[in-house]
Amino acid sequence: MRSTEPSAPSQGDALELWEKAVKHMDKGEWQEARQALEGVLAIEPDHPGSLNKLGVCLVESGDTSGAEAMFRRALEVDPQMAQAHSNLGNIELTRGCAAAARDLYLEALKLDPNYSLAHHNLSAAYKRLGQIDKAIAEHKKARSLESQHGRSAGYAAPDQSRPARSRLGCVFWLVILGIMIAIIMTLR
């Protein structure tokens, strides 16, 4: 005789939901990704990757304070998560707090020195702080790492194959463009 009660969600269910969330994020389907990640967190409330990715979905939906809470929660669970440090830095940078953003990017890079996106983000923070030489050096380091390892995942600089560009990703590339223009102007 079969039980009519639903079975408890399993680790397999969490993995399936995680994979759905990643696919939705790659397509820029933030609400669908958010729902899948909330499903993962219902099964595994302390899953740092899901907390971090949910933060990205919240940023994309315009909920910066909710995103910040998710990134901070991810770091409570896993203080070594470089992506969450970098994502918090992105929030600080958009708030105009370049020094705080710089410190968060440096923390991310202390945890993962090969995290190319954190180098790109640090470059943007240095530019805002008027430290152009450091901005250029970080940009070069990021490009070097990308040529060796490919682009790092993250919301500030979306994967080239992803059709939807994040608002913060656009800001990032505008900052990089500004750095390049500043370099060209100083060479004249």
Assigned domain for 68 exists: no
Grouped pLDDT means (10 residues each) for the chain, 188 residues: 47 83 91 93 93 95 95 97 96 95 97 94 95 94 85 41 41 64 71
Which residue range(s) make up the domain with 59?
A: 10-63
Together in a domain, 113 and 181: yes
Domain CATH number, residue 176: 1.25.40.10
pLDDT of residue 162: 33
Q: Do 90 and 58 share a domain, yes or no?
A: no
**Cβ–Cβ < 8 Å for 36, 16:** no
Contacts with 100 (C-beta within 8 Å, 6 or more apart), sequence order = 89, 92
Q: Into how many domains does the chain fold? A: 2
Q: Is residue 4 part of a domain?
A: no
Token representation of residue 39: 């499903």
Nearest Cα to Cα of residue 58 among 33, 40, 83:
33
Same domain, 122 and 155: yes
Q: Looking at the structure, do residues 24 and 114 belong to the same domain, yes or no?
A: no
141 in any annotated domain: yes
Give me the pLDDT at residue 133, please: 95
